[in-house]
Structure 1
Amino acid sequence: MGPPVTETQYHELGDFTLQHGATLRGARLAYTTYGTLNADKSNAVVYPTWYSGRHWDNEWLIGPGMALDPDRYFVIVPNMLGNGLSTSPSNTTGGYAGPRFPHVTFHDQVQAQHDLVTRHFGIRRLALVTGWSMGAGQTYQWAVSHPDVVERMAPFCGSSRTSVHNQVFLEGVKAALTADSAFANGWYGDTLPVVGLRAAARVYAGWGFSQAFYWDREYEKLGYSSLEDFLVEFWEGFFLDGRDPNDLLAMLRTWQTGDVGLTPGFGGDTEAALRSIRATGIVMPAEKDLYFPPEDEAWAVSHLADAELRVIPGTWGHFAGYGSNDVDTRFIDTALRELLARPGGLG
């Protein structure tokens, strides 16, 4: 989405033990912040990144006059473990380098972020946690893992549990990345498997936007001269923009196994995990999202104590949450503004 406005900062996690037992030694969490933390530390917002996204990709929802106005809120954007900036396959040395990088869960992602929020900033409550796609999954995970910290939650175009259908889609992305002979079981060195990256982009292209988006040739309104131009310049260009295949596969595994019911203490009971959430929420699926359809989020909201389902209308599907469509951006921003005006769930 463009160059970063603010510099990348790093929080040292030390030897960080993951949910499944592996320890990332000398782990660190890349992040950036917008705005100033107030005296009582009550204006903090956490806005996690998404699959392959970096912190600057979230800047479209932050700015003067918006709900996430840096003059009012201290917005923390942590980069997921595995995204190439935080500890990832591409920047890890030793036994866990490259394809040997261990399984990182949503619970692990949030524990790393919680360490940043509490140990580094000394924040005890968050005014809001919000995020798109995998950022929405982290939003749900924050509210389950730390119900006494999160006042409000606004996941958009994402879910608390990755559906079986979504898992199947991700198998297609995984197969495309790994089928390239240059992938070499993940030991490709400095020569990226470009054929696999381009193939993964084309798998994604049929899912990121809705059937109606393509029927209406919305890509032409974005300045692309043909469907092939859109597939090459937008989609293939997206995957070739600094994305490392092992990083993509690590994040894919986090996404594919996502389920707040797997949070320690819930024994796989997703409904119980959702019922434990105290945060006031607005949950925003997109009307034609092929990954996270509104009915999935209606199910989740039915188990939340204080949450509203608000469906983003239109044809943009999952990418309603990407920041390229002003109508969808205004819809999300309006919901955040209304949510922040409501009392938080912690009293």
Structure 2
Amino acid sequence: MTDHQIYALGDVVLQCRKTLRDARLAYKTYGTLNAARDNAIVYPTWYSGQHTENEWLIGPGRALDPDRYFIIVPNMFGNGLSSSPSNTPPPWNGPRFPHVTAHDNVRAQHRLVTEHFGIERLALVTGWSMGALQTYHWASMYPDMVARILPFQGSARCSRHNFVFLEGAKAALQADAAFADGWYASPPTRGLRAFGRVYAGWGLSQTFYRLEADRTHMGYASLEDFLVGFWEGLFYERDANNLLAMLWTWQNGDISANDTFRGDFKAALGAITAKAILMPASTDLYFPPEDNAIEAAAMPNAQLRVLDTWWGHFAGGPGTSPDDIRVLDDALRELLAH
């Protein structure tokens, strides 16, 4: 049995001018939509994550309380539940899966929210990492619909430095001979393990490793135990083509890359009228606070609030740093109260 639902989108023409045929958007909801349909929150998934890996931020007594809000968690295209290389039939399977942008993802999510649920106004959109990228897209694409946003540990477009990091991870995965240009007969496990090891130097900060927090806070017996158990384990069970599809989405993330803004990044940010708290982590190696400071300066109702932490990118999820989660939860609660 599955714990999620599927919204059938039909044939969707993507920004890349290819058609995602019989497109499927997997989602899960938490809580009940009220009669006024004004208590809805959209909380998109992150790179490689699925809806269950968003649940650590949802629960009674939390800001994202299903007793009060109707929380929709849409699964990103490419994550193995929504339309992905791993579940799309030939000829568009595997490495032939079309390139999907964050804009394409949010356009599909908008259809779910408006067509299926009849929601015209969202109380909040929030998300971590690539979920933050989608959050920015929601607010820029549908400014009259989104009242508040809190993107955490993410940005409105992929920086050049971030792009380069992802190139390294991608190259490690594709170097496995078993990858076979994406037509692998069995999972390229060496490449997937190497992918995780590249990530290990970026997902957490230098201070995290200096403090040996993998041992003292996460319970691993040694650094090697951590590299295998956490980082290789994080990606070992993921489908390689799915990872590469979402990686392309990440590298090409940009809220101004559409017919409305035509590359004018400042104008795309200026179109975001939602009350916003931008929450980078002070030690995030993917999304440094400087990027969010540039964004906040161009947004009319944005506040930059840097999370002071040594957890790096993983300060935001998935539930790894309880102290940082409390700060995030308090910020969400504050934002929803106004």
Q: TM-score range by the shorter chain?
A: over 0.9
Picking from 14, 19, 28, the partner of 1:18 is 14
Alignment of 1:306-321 (within 5 A): 306-321=301-316
Alignment-derived partner of residue 255 in structure 1 = 250
Q: Which amino acid aligns with 1:187?
A: W
Q: Secondary structure at the match of 1:90?
A: coil
**Which residue is equivalent to 1:269?**
264
Residue 203 in 1 paired to residue 181 in 2?
no
The alignment partner of 1:260 has SS state of: coil
Give the drift of 1:305: 0.4
Mapped to 1, the partners of 2:101 and 2:54 lie a distance apart of 21
Q: Which residue of 2 aligns with 1:122?
A: 118
Residue aligned with 2:112, SS: helix
Which of residues 87, 90, 93 in structure 2 aligns to 1:91? 87
Tell me the TM-score normalized by structure 1: 0.96
- Asked if 1:161 is matched to 2:157, the reply is yes
Deviation track 1:261-301 (CA, whole Å, cap 9, x = no partner) reads 11321110111100011100000000000000001101100
What is the rounded CA distance, in whole Å, between the counterparts of 1:223 and 1:321 in structure 2? 19
Cα distance in structure 1, aligned partners of 2:228 and 2:16 = 38
Which aligned segments of 4 or more residues in structure 1 are displaced greater than 2 angstroms? none
User: How far is 1:161 from its partner?
Assistant: 1.0
**Residue in structure 2 matched with residue 68 of structure 1 by the alignment:** 64
SS in 2 for 1:94: coil
CA deviations 1:35-70 (Å, max 9, x no partner) are 000001000000000000000000010000000000
What code does the residue aligned with 1:132 have? W
Partners of 2:104 and 2:88 lie apart in 1 by: 17
Deviation, 1:92, is: 0.5
Residue 180 of structure 2 aligns with an amino acid whose one-letter code is A
Answer yes or no: is the 8 Å Cα contact 1:118–1:124 preserved in 2: yes
Assess if the C-alpha contact under 8 Å between 1:55 and 1:78 holds in 2.
yes
2:52 — aligned with what? Answer: 56
Q: 2 CA distance for matches of 1:58 and 1:257? A: 23
8 Å Cα contact 1:152-1:339 kept in structure 2: yes
2:177 counterpart residue number: 181
For residue 207 of structure 2, the aligned residue among 191, 207, 212 is 212
Give the % identical residues: 64
Partner-residue secondary structure (3-state), 1:89: coil
Does residue 1:193 correspond to 2:212, yes or no?
A: no
Structure 2: segments with no counterpart, 5+ residues: none
SS of equivalent residue, structure 1 residue 261 = coil
SS of 2:256's equivalent in the other structure is: helix
In the alignment, which of 38, 41, 46 is matched to residue 45 of structure 1?
41
SS of residue paired to 1:212: helix
**AA of the residue aligned to 1:130:** T
Task: State whether residues 153 and 279 of structure 1, in contact with CA within 8 Å, keep that contact through their aligned partners in structure 2.
Answer: yes
Q: How far is 1:314 from its partner? A: 1.2
**C-alpha RMSD of the superposition:** 1.0
Task: Check whether the contact 1:145–1:263 (CA below 8 A) recurs between aligned residues.
Answer: no
The TM-score with structure 2 as length reference comes to: 0.98
Aligned twin of 1:133: 129
Gaps of 5+ in 1: 343-347
- 1:56-102 deviation line (CA, Å, top 9, x unaligned): 00001000000000000000000000100000000001221100111
Question: Which amino acid is 1:111 matched to?
Answer: R
| Deviation readout 1:135-172 (Å, 9 max, x if unpaired) | 00000000011111100000000000110000000001
